[in-house]
């Protein structure tokens, strides 16, 4: 399996690249992948809203996430427009096995700060993997228009991943954040290694 370049590793930190076969499967199921993508953008917006509602006293985080809500919702609308243009339909939202597995790794008890850290790192990891998947699509799809379409999403998600890491380090000791991030990356590697390759899912 092709490994990441040092560049991508430094940007994303991900330990295992997406199997190249995923792009070929996704291209065969464009309606399904666009539908899943739309819901991913919607969930990203609502999760940021949830964080704002839960932690209104974290002023810097509220200010940083407010425009992300607008941006993610704009992405949702962009994907809807693409579906409409292609005379495809937004299907039903499906169970996101990847995200649910990440949620299982979050600390449920202990200190509230530890739970807060895991919430931010979960978002960082989802954004990082989304960025990597969009990179795959922007380089591997046969349709030139769709390659450019996903290039724009890739560039946006890379910035989001960095934002969540920076927010974690703003409120918590940097060494604590980095230590827990390594644990998350290892867990995600094992998750990706055992996951079924499906072309109808972004994750």
In 3D, which of 44, 173, 49 has the Cα closest to residue 111? 173
Kindly state the average pLDDT of the residues 182-192.
Answer: 95
Any domain includes 203: no
| Domains of the chain: total | 1
How far apart CA 179 and CA 25 sit, in angstroms, is 35
Any domain includes 52: yes
Q: Which residue has the higher pLDDT, 7 or 1?
A: 7
Its domain, for residue 124, covers 24-194
Cβ atoms within 10 Å of 179's Cβ, excluding its own = 10
Any domain includes 144: yes
pLDDT, tens digit, for every residue of 116-173?
999 999 999 999 999 999 999 999 999 999 999 999 999 887 788 889 999 999 999 9
How far apart CA 57 and CA 75 sit, in angstroms, is 28
CATH code of the domain in which 37 resides:
1.20.1260.10
Kindly state the average pLDDT of the residues 17-44.
Answer: 94
């Amino acid at each position: 399996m092709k490994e990441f370049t040092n560049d991508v590793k430094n940007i994303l930190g991900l330990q295992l690249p997406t199997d190249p076969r995923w792009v070929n499967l996704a291209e065969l199921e464009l309606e399904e992948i666009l539908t899943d993508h739309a819901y991913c953008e919607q969930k990203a917006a609502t999760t940021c809203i949830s964080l704002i509602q839960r932690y209104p006293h974290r002023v810097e985080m509220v200010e940083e996430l407010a425009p992300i809500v607008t941006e993610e919702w704009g992405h949702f609308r962009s994907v809807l427009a693409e579906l409409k243009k292609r005379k495809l339909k937004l299907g039903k939202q499906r169970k996101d096995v990847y995200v649910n597995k990440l949620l299982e790794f979050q600390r449920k008890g202990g200190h509230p700060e530890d739970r807060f850290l895991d919430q931010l790192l979960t978002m960082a990891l989802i954004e990082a993997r989304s960025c990597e998947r969009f990179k795959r699509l922007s380089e591997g799809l046969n349709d030139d228009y769709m390659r450019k379409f996903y290039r724009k999403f890739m560039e946006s998600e890379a910035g989001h991943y960095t934002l969540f890491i920076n927010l974690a380090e703003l409120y918590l000791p940097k060494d604590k954040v980095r230590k827990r991030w390594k644990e998350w990356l290892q867990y995600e590697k094992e998750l990706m290694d055992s996951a079924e390759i499906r072309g109808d899912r972004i994750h």
